[in-house]
A and B are shown apart, each in its own frame.
Chain A
Amino acid sequence: MIAELLNSLNGDIVMGLAQAAGAIALCAAVVLLCGRFAVHVERETAISVARGLVQMVFVGMVLAVLLHGNLLEGALILLAMTFAAAVTASRRARDIKGSLPLSFYAIAAGAGIVIAGMLATRALTSDIAVLVPVGSMIIANAMNACAQSIERFRADIIAYVGQIEAGLTLGADPAVTVAPYVQSAVYASLLPRLDMLKSLGLVWIPGVMAGMMVSGASPVYAGIYQFVIVAMILAASGIAGLIVTLLMRAHAFSAAAQLTLRPGEQHQPPLYRLAQSMPRAS
């Protein structure tokens, strides 16, 4: 295991780090430019860049060690990625009770169904070197769809509290009162993926296709396979967006059909409540 890790630390690493430094320098220049227009993202960008680099190096090391692992090991890695994705997506709705499990179920369902389907149809092999990168793309897109659905649904509910409660006072089922906002939330999460599919090959040639061609695969097959991947990303995103929205809809109402997701009455996480209850220096 250690030998495999050491083997991966060759001269390419130095070149990769130099390239990373160049990319970071360019990002820093953009951040400085944004700062001149009063868009201050310095701290957030620094954290994101540092996290991204460390995480990718770590993943590379894990893959180097587990390159020849079995399907179970690959599944465990994807499960850990799904959990991390759920944590990230749920941050968009940290004031909603149970947002982490909601996000996890949605992303796991979306990515899980699609990856299982691809494995069953042999569109994806159980080789970790293939399974984890492709699986991570699907999980990441499911995460984005999940976060977009959460954000849109939450924003719509809060913006249209009056209409929703007017519907409730007329005896409507809660699901009926929020039906337009469910539709717009799912649609909002799918739109970027639909655009991605539309622009495939015209605007961008994704990395999988480029990698396959570099490694000698037929460009036509590489193109078709890339389409399969993007179509699966759309499917996973749709499932994740739909499930998280439906789960949030259920969480937005009490058993007595009262809208509980209202401005100023959102759930506050335990740590936030603790911080609020602590005495403050005057």
Chain B
Amino acid sequence: MPWVRNSWPRLISLQPEGVARGCPLPTKMAQSTKKKNMSAVTITRSTGYIGDAASSEATWDRPAGLAHQAPALETECLSRSIAERILVSDISVQVQLGEVLAVVGPSGAGKSSFLRLLNRLDEPTGGTVRLNGQDYRELAPRELRRRVGMVMQAAYLFPGTVAANVAFGPAQCGERLAPEQIAILLQRVGLPGYQERDVSNLSGGEAQRVSIVRTLANAPEALLLDEPTSALDDISARGIEDLVLSIIHERRMTCVIVTHNTAQAHRIADRTMILEAGKLVTIGLTKEVLRDC
């Protein structure tokens, strides 16, 4: 099994028992999961993730030959312009394995454009992106997108059942999700028994949960979130936020989230970068970058 891509057994570990095996959780999520009668490991954000680190690394199957410090996701002078309009200008950032990076900035700052470049939905006009040290242009776009999952602002579900949506990604590379696997995934995102529901009957929050689980069904290494809660009410938004946090820490995924909500960035992100007019203004620990927000 290639180390760079999670295997189906890891996908199954999305179920609550995975938490008990030492996968890291942030404090808030640890508390919330305790409420759900799940065992948890308490950590503090200042010290990063604690717990059984050795077993966590072991399940990740990192090959000995690869530099341990290679950033999971790295942009190198990343730029994109259309005609004479600059969308993203010369951005170089590194995101470490298991880290959550928030991208904030005013409307039109290039946040979504930056995220689209990470998924190669758009082509950079300058610079590149490295995934675990490898230039992403060396990867087939379809493989890259399976490894770097993206959740969009709107759910954009395909017509049909929830189960069909969840099974879509794996089916694209010839893998078939068993009904039990779909059931476990849906249970993990708080939608038990939703398999046969038609997507047209879902609420906004439910649809976004299906969108998230549909992306996770591909077992991506990194998760890109483009304002996933901006179209939702506060309660649904916090539910999605908690869900995303628990999953990315549980699976130790690298995450880049675009948000216009600085409070959300405070709650979610280890580090935050601020964009303005396509340019990187500042990047650092969230509590420092957004100190006055």
Contact = CB atoms under 8 A, between A and B. Distances in A.
Given A169-B119, A169-B150, A257 B156 contact: no
30 contacts: A162-B152, A162-B154, A163-B158, A165-B156, A166-B152, A166-B157, A166-B211, A167-B158, A167-B168, A168-B141, A169-B121, A169-B149, A169-B152, A169-B215, A170-B146, A170-B172, A170-B218, A171-B142, A171-B143, A171-B173, A171-B218, A172-B168, A176-B172, A254-B123, A256-B120, A258-B120, A258-B121, A258-B123, A258-B141, A265-B82
Contacts of A258: 120-123, 141
Interface string B131-149: 0000001000111011001
Interface residues of B, number: 27
- Residue among B137, B168, B211, B218 with most chain A CB within 10 A: B168
B209 interface: no
B90 to A, nearest CB: 21
Interface of A: 162-163, 165-173, 176, 254, 256-259, 265
Given A162-B156, A165-B152, A170-B146, A257 B168 contact: no
Contacts of B143: 171
Contacts of B157: 166
- Residue among B119, B137, B158, B218 with most chain A CB within 10 A: B158
A163 B156 CA distance: 5
B214 interface: yes
A265 B122 CA distance: 12
Contacts, number: 63
A275 to B, nearest CB: 15
Contacts of B24: none
B228 interface: no
Contacts of A173: 142, 172
A168 B158 CA distance: 12
Contacts of A163: 156, 158
Nearest to A253: B141
B216 to A, nearest CB: 11
Contacts of A170: 145-146, 149, 168-169, 172, 214-215, 218
Given A169-B152, A258-B121, 7 more contacts: A163-B158, A166-B157, A168-B121, A169-B150, A170-B149, A170-B214, A265-B82
Contacts of B119: 169
A43 B114 CA distance: 46
A171 B120 contact: no
A243 B154 CA distance: 33
A215 B119 CA distance: 67
Contacts of B145: 168-171
Interface string B86-109: 000000000000000000000000
B158 A257 contact: no
Contacts of B156: 162-163, 165-166
B21 to A, nearest CB: 28
B142 to A, nearest CB: 5
Contacts of B211: 166
- Residue among B82, B123, B141, B157 with most chain A CB within 10 A: B141
A170 B219 CA distance: 10
Interface string B186-215: 000000000000000000000000010011
Nearest to B149: A169
Contact of B141 (A162, A166, A257, A265): A257
Interface in B72-89: 82
Contacts of B141: 168, 256-258
B260 to A, nearest CB: 19
A257 to B, nearest CB: 4
B229 to A, nearest CB: 17
A256 B123 contact: yes
Contacts of B142: 171-173, 257
B64 to A, nearest CB: 28
A158 B123 CA distance: 19
A172 B158 CA distance: 13
Nearest to A170: B169
Nearest to A259: B121
Interface string B153-174: 0101110000000001100110
Contacts of B150: 169
A170 B156 CA distance: 12
A176 to B, nearest CB: 7
A177 to B, nearest CB: 10
A170 B172 CA distance: 8
B86 to A, nearest CB: 15
Contacts of B173: 171
- Leading 4 A-B pairs by shortest Cβ distance: A171-B146, A166-B156, A170-B169, A162-B156
A166 B199 CA distance: 15
A254 B121 CA distance: 10
Nearest to A254: B123
Nearest to B140: A257
A163 B214 CA distance: 13
Contacts of B122: 258
A165 B169 CA distance: 13
Nearest to A180: B159
